[in-house]
Amino acid sequence: MKHLFQSLGLIEEEEDDDITGEIPTIAFPSSSTSIGSINHFPDDKRWELNYQEAAIYLQEGENNNRFDTHPSNQSALPAYLIVHNTYFFLIDLAASILLMSLALIESPAVPVIEVDEFIHASLELFCLTLIAIGVGMKMRWLGLKSFLKHKRTAIKAVVLLIMYVEAIIVIIRHQSHFRVTRALRPFFFIDCHYSRGVRRSLRQIFQSLPPIVEMLVLLFYFLLIFATLGFYLFSKIDHNDYFRTMGASFVNLFVLQTTANYPDVMMPAYNSSRWSALFFIVFLILELYFLTNVLLAVVYNTFTDVEKEKFKRLYLHKRLGASMAFRRLCSRMHPGLISFPHFLGLMKYYKSNHSKRDVLLAFRTLNSSGTGFINLSEFFNIYEVSLLKWTAKQDEKLWFESLFPPLDKPFRLINYLVNLKHFEILVYAVIALNGSVFIISTIVISGTGSSQEVMETLEVVHWYDIAFVTFYGIECLLKILGWGCQRYFGNTWNV
């Protein structure tokens, strides 16, 4: 069953988002994996290229891109950098969304927003051109042979070509026709950079299908057997339309499996013979309570196993990317180690928005051994550490500390009071008491009788209501004076 889905292209052995082939061995790549030969460059230029290539390896590990799509030479590097630029990702996303949105203005559409065929066909060509630029750039750095090996990208190119031809035909004829390829427009949205999660979920669903389909076949096999038995047993009963034909028997038993027509489907047969109840009891036990629950268990276990396997492979893929990047950053003076200057050069390309302070703190976090150099086992944590956000920690200064003595003493006393555990307990006790009084008063009011009496009772403001509101006001005032407005209103619960 799995080979059947693979032959149909529903499951790919290797994708640029998930690594579904053999688990790679964590090892340093050979020098042939570098971006061309850089020995003829000066040392500074050579190290800059090393930093850039190491950053690309980390990005490929983080984005789960296959390493065989790594730029193989200097001429392929510009195309790779353009396609993996944030602005290009946004343009591709906008073009995909606009392409799908054309369905709102294409015929048939609401007359108010329907536009001429020339306009929507021109917009379609514009969107397809933007998407085709990305495909062309990808072909530029991959090469034609590797490009055709990537099934999803090759299919995307074919769909682009067909939709291009159709849009041109619409412009020439100035008349729209029935176009099946419109249904393929969401494919471009799914293929864009920001839909990685969608692609992974779809891939997991397809990978989980083979055992689920096998279980569904078994379930419908027994359903067909019971439908056949039901047809021969109950089709001769008068006024029993549930089993009049083989098709009706199958459909009604399928509905019975969902309990939607229970017990109506069995009543004519039961009215004819009470022994017919055994047929329906056995059917419900086998189909509803056994096979359906087994199907749910298979779905859960299969999807969970695929998720665990995917997580393991993605984890190893990240480590492989980190090991490849690590090799590009080691020097002859410090083999097997990364110094801070080289780490700083890496972060300039990998996390360009990081300041030197952030890079230094990330380096010191990775360097758990405290040697001043990062080894490979420490460098494996680069993905987690690079996501950390660093802010300067400042001692909290109370607002009244700038007051001259003894003006600050009352506020210090208030601050001490509101920070007491007993004060917090008192507040919670009053809140609980207020809630209890509210519930008791509601019960009393509900037993007064007429709605007029209830309205008159609700309009009365009792002394305990004033007492509770006064206490809450004093609590807020004390906390504002003791903590300051910034700390008090910084808590959303207080707002």
Counting other chains too, the contacts that 314-318 makes at CB distance below 8 Å and 24 or more residues apart are 314/18, 314/19, 314/64, 316/19, 316/23, 316/24, 316/26, 317/19, 317/24, 317/61, 317/64, 318/61, 318/62, 318/383
Domain end point (choices 194, 226, 260): 194
Predicted local distance difference test score (pLDDT) of residue 395: 61
State pLDDT tens for residues 154-184: 888 899 999 989 889 888 888 777 788 888 8
Q: Number of structural domains, the chain?
A: 4
Assigned domain for 189 exists:
yes
pLDDT surpassing 70 at residue 30: no
Length of the chain: 495
* 8 Å CB contact between 240 and 234: yes
Specify whether 23 is located in the same domain as 147: yes
Residues 294 and 165 in one domain: no
Domain boundary among 385, 418, 452: 385
- Chain mean position to CA 221: 36
Residue 363 is assigned to a structural domain of this protein: yes
Identify which has the larger pLDDT, 20 or 427: 427
Residue 321 lies in a domain: no
Whether pLDDT at 357 is above 70: yes
Q: Does residue 46 register a pLDDT over 70?
A: yes
How far apart CA 206 and CA 264 sit, in angstroms, is 38
Which residues span the domain enclosing 230?
199-308
Mean pLDDT of 202-207: 87
Cβ neighbours of residue 11 closer than 8 Å, sequence gap 6 or more: 2, 5, 20, 203, 206, 207
Residues 352 and 270 in one domain: no
Question: Of the candidates 194, 226, 256, which is a domain's last residue?
Answer: 194
- Name the average pLDDT for the chain: 82
In a domain, 7, yes or no: yes
Task: Name the band, by pLDDT with cuts 50, 70 and 90, for residue 394.
Answer: low
pLDDT for residue 312 is more than 60: yes
Same domain assignment for residues 364 and 455:
no
Bridge partners, 338 (sequence order)? 374
Rounded to an integer, the average pLDDT of 307-322 is 90
**Are 164 and 20 in the same domain?**
yes
pLDDT at 3: 45
pLDDT over 60 (residue 135): yes
* Region 49-66 average pLDDT: 86
Q: What is the CATH number of the domain that holds 337?
A: 1.10.238.10
Is residue 161 assigned to a domain? yes
Q: How far apart are CA 462 and CA 402, in angstroms?
A: 43
Same domain, 166 and 208: no
Contacts of 229 (CB under 8 A, 6+ apart): 279
- Evaluate if residue 5 carries a pLDDT over 90: no
Please give the Cα distance from 217 to 320 (Å, whole number).
Answer: 40
Q: Which range is least confidently modeled, 345-359, 376-390, 400-414?
A: 400-414
Q: Lowest-pLDDT range, 117-121, 256-260, 421-425?
A: 256-260
What is the token pair recorded at 16?
């640029």
Q: Which residue has the higher pLDDT, 300 or 110?
A: 300
pLDDT of residue 29: 39
Whether 161 and 20 share a structural domain: yes
| Residue found by looking up tokens 């392409």 in the block | 99
**In a domain? residue 241:** yes
Are 404 and 257 in the same domain? no
Q: Are 117 and 176 contacting, i.e. CB atoms less than 8 angstroms apart?
A: yes
Higher pLDDT, 446 or 469: 469
CATH of the domain at 220: 1.10.287.70
> What are 300's two structure tokens?
């859960």
55 and 167 assigned to the same domain: yes
Residues 350 and 479 in one domain: no
pLDDT at 327 over 80: yes
Select from 172, 286, 181, 301 the least CA-distant residue to 225.
286
Q: Give 446's pLDDT tier (boundaries 50, 70, 90).
A: confident
480 is a domain residue: yes
Beta bridge partners of 374: 338
DSSP state of 23: P
| Residue 231: per-residue pLDDT | 85
Phi/psi at 338 (5° precision): -115, 125
Which range (149-158, 388-397, 467-476) has the least confidence? 388-397
pLDDT of 41 reads 54
SS3 state at 338 = strand
Is 120 a residue whose pLDDT tops 90? no
Same domain, 378 and 446: no
| One domain, residues 6 and 145 | yes
Helices (H), 193-262: 196-234, 246-257
Whether 391 is covered by a domain: the verdict is no
Residue 457 has pLDDT above 80, yes or no: no
Residues 28, 435: Cα–Cα separation, whole Å: 66
pLDDT tens digits, 400-417 = 777 778 877 888 888 889
User: Which residues are within 8 A (CB) of 422 and not within 5 positions of it... i.e. 6 or more apart?
Assistant: none
